[in-house]
Chains A and B, each alone.
Chain A
Amino acid sequence: MKAMREAYGEALVELGRSNPNVVVLDADVASSSRSILFKQAFPDRFFNIGIAEGNMVGIASGLATAGKIPFVNTFAFLLALRAADSVRSLVAYNHLNVKLAGAYGGFSDSYDGASHQSVEDVSIMRTLPNMTVIVVADEFQAKQAVFAAAALEGPVYLRLSRAEVAPIYAEDSKFEIGKGIVLREGADVTIVANGYMVTKALEAAEILTKEGIKAEIVDMHTVKPIDAALLFASGRKTGAVVSVEEHSIYGGLGSAVAEVLAGELPLPLEILGIKDVFGESGAYEAILSKHGLDKVAVAAAARKAISRKK
């Protein structure tokens, strides 16, 4: 098991080897984001901008206008908030080929507390036209997402995690931006998750199986554009949906799922996420449980969604 950020940094290096246009920027957290691995491999194509995130995204935008493919690194909340105007007015508005990698998504920087945790980034990024939003679930997906983001012309937000999580995928698993992954088939309820919550959803499915409930687990790694076709197909089969995200319930995965279902397939939907509060310091798993983001809570939400079927 490898920390996602380590896998991410290694993927950057591999990408940098095959594509000389890839450049990497960091705002004084290269040791944390692991973009330092790229610096060690390609010192001429790495730029440490110092503690100035808006400037970093602006510089990346300038590089992108000249054909470079900048990967921009800092903590997720800083990209979404401190650098927000550069992200909106430069990267998104101009459809620039800038990749924004938000390390430390959700509560994953757990001990540092609310100031460093990021529970609103997906919502902010999702609201920007032209922005593709990806929430990465494990080390292998991190690597695949780096390559997929580089291959996609245009702005991409990659939400990463500080946590060391057990891998879900094999190294050669298929990954396609905008295509959700059915990790487990079921007929009674669809559980849509992303990031580390995919693991929680899979654990909840085990609990539900013992009760005779067959849950279908979908990794919706791409929140935007969301895989509506998969949601419809799975929803029509199971008749009830649960969404789980390590993010505010406002504006993230749950909202995206609701927007899709509301128009065409208004099924019972339970949205699990952070209920309009900030985080706090503590052990990662303890914080997640406090906010109802563990297997027990997911299983309970699944039962509730099923009970709401007409």
Chain B
Amino acid sequence: MSMDAAKEQQLKTIAKQMRIDIVKMLHNVKTGHPGGSLSAVEILTVLYHNQMNVNCKDACNCARDRFIASKGHCAPVLYTTLADKGYFPKAELKNLRQLGCMLQGHPDMKRIPGVDISTGSLGLGLSVGVGMSLAGRLDKQGFYTYVLLGDGELQEGQNWEAVMAAAKFKLDHIIAIVDNNGVQLDGTLEDIMPMGDIGQKFAAFGWKVLTADGHDVRSIDAAIDQAKTVCGIPVVIIAKTVKGKGVSFMEGKNTWHGKAIEDKDFAIAMAELGGNNE
């Protein structure tokens, strides 16, 4: 079913506010990863606000859909999303990365309601997703497991071990989404370690490959709808994105992978995102 115009507008509004919240949160604590969070804003918006079967009041329900931020450094976008969905008060965002806080530098399932697995060390999430998906099948729960992968992260070999396993076990309730922003910490993927055609690589291992514009909520939503119709094989959605999307001086810049947002940058970013300077 295609998204109606009202829904599309609602998701766009959520995404816009999320960008503001992310930049504010990171500016406030002067630490954290802006680039890879801003590239995944629309992906998480569509997942949590239009696709996933989750409920903060029943956060451990066995039949809930699962989300794995395998690129755990996108914690800011996950945290703003979870706060938005009512898993914890938005006031917690102010304590990001501070001693004794709930919101650790990288997602921590033991501390944060709504986090299905702790991540941070790259290349582990897809394996976990395979395990969750196998459990869902054993228990006939029918839930979907969504795994958000970084394109740079795919340089970790364990991803491809998990890719093989998902195909072997014919898991059609795992949907991987690659945040294909083309930039990693030290530079572009092309410079650091070219990944070639990522879709072809997945296809060669027996996955169904879909593509989406990772900043178009309608495009992402349609791809996920299509992924859910696939039977007998796992699906990956290659979502073309821009690292640092929405803030001109961050866009496409590896230097903004994990850089603190200082006051002068914050003012410009807020002007561009339409937020206030508080």
What is A's interface to B at a CB cutoff of 8 Å?
Answer: 23, 44-45, 47, 49-50, 52, 54-68, 70, 85-86, 88-90, 93-95
Query: With A52-B161, A66-B62 known to touch, is A58 a contact of B121 (CB < 8 Å)?
Result: no
Contact B128 A65 (CB under 8 A): yes
Majority secondary structure of chain A interface residues (helix, strand, loop or mixed): helix
Contact A89 B118 (CB under 8 A): yes
Nearest chain-B residue to A60 (Cβ)?
B131
Please, which residues of chain A bring their CB within 8 A of the CB of B168? Answer: 50
Among A45, A61, A64, A86, the residue within 8 A (CB) of B138 is A45
Among A61, A66, A85, the residue within 8 A (CB) of B121 is A85
Contact B134 A62 (CB under 8 A): yes
Contact A63 B134 (CB under 8 A): yes
Please, which residues of chain B bring their CB within 8 A of the CB of A65? Answer: 66, 109, 116-117, 128, 131-132, 135
Residue of A23, A47, A58 with most chain B CB atoms under a 10 A cut-off: A58
Q: How far is the CB of A140 from chain B (nearest CB, A)?
A: 31
Q: Tell whether B124 is near chain A: CB-to-CB under 8 Å.
A: yes
Contact A55 B117 (CB under 8 A): no
Contact mask for chain B residues 157-170; partner A; CB cutoff 8 A; 1 contact, 0 none: 01001101100110
Please, which residues of chain B bring their CB within 8 A of the CB of A94? Answer: 109-110, 117-118
A55 to B110, CA, bound (A): 22
A49 to B158, CA, bound (A): 12
Please, which residues of chain A bring their CB within 8 A of the CB of B110? Answer: 94-95
Contact B124 A85 (CB under 8 A): yes
Given contacts A63-B132, A66-B136, 15 further A-B contacts (CB under 8 A): A52-B165, A55-B161, A58-B128, A65-B66, A66-B62, A66-B132, A66-B139, A67-B135, A67-B139, A85-B121, A85-B124, A86-B158, A89-B121, A90-B128, A94-B117
A60 to B162, CA, bound (A): 12
A94 to B116, CA, bound (A): 10
Contact A55 B165 (CB under 8 A): yes
Contact B121 A59 (CB under 8 A): no
Majority secondary structure of chain B interface residues (helix, strand, loop or mixed): helix
Q: How far is the CB of A85 from chain B (nearest CB, A)?
A: 6
Contact A62 B138 (CB under 8 A): no
Query: With A52-B164, A67-B62, A86-B124 known to touch, is A62 a contact of B118 (CB < 8 Å)?
Result: no
Of residues 112 through 134 on chain B, the ones whose CB sits less than 8 Å from some CB of chain A are 116-121, 124, 126-134
Query: With A65-B132, A66-B132 known to touch, is A93 a contact of B118 (CB < 8 Å)?
Result: yes
Query: With A23-B138, A94-B117, A94-B118 known to touch, is A59 a contact of B165 (CB < 8 Å)?
Result: yes
Nearest chain-A residue to B130 (Cβ)?
A59
Please, which residues of chain A bring their CB within 8 A of the CB of B127? Answer: 54-59, 61-62, 86
Please, which residues of chain A bring their CB within 8 A of the CB of B133? Answer: 62
A88 to B119, CA, bound (A): 11
Q: How far is the CB of A218 from chain B (nearest CB, A)?
A: 35
Contact A47 B134 (CB under 8 A): yes
Contact A44 B138 (CB under 8 A): yes
Contact A66 B128 (CB under 8 A): no
Query: With A54-B158, A55-B162, A59-B134 known to touch, is A89 a contact of B116 (CB < 8 Å)?
Result: no
Please, which residues of chain A bring their CB within 8 A of the CB of B126? Answer: 58
Please, which residues of chain A bring their CB within 8 A of the CB of B139? Answer: 66-67
A59 to B126, CA, bound (A): 8
Among B124, B131, B164, the residue within 8 A (CB) of A63 is B131
- A sample of 24 cross-chain residue pairs with beta-carbon separation below 8 angstroms, ordered by A number, consists of A50-B165, A50-B168, A52-B158, A52-B164, A55-B127, A55-B130, A55-B162, A58-B130, A58-B158, A59-B128, A62-B127, A63-B135, A65-B131, A65-B132, A66-B132, A66-B139, A68-B135, A68-B138, A85-B124, A86-B127, A86-B158, A89-B124, A94-B109, A94-B118
Please, which residues of chain B bring their CB within 8 A of the CB of A90? Answer: 117-118, 124, 128
Among B130, B158, B164, the residue within 8 A (CB) of A62 is B130
Residue of B134, B145, B169 with most chain A CB atoms under a 10 A cut-off: B134
Contact B124 A58 (CB under 8 A): yes
A199 to B197, CA, bound (A): 58
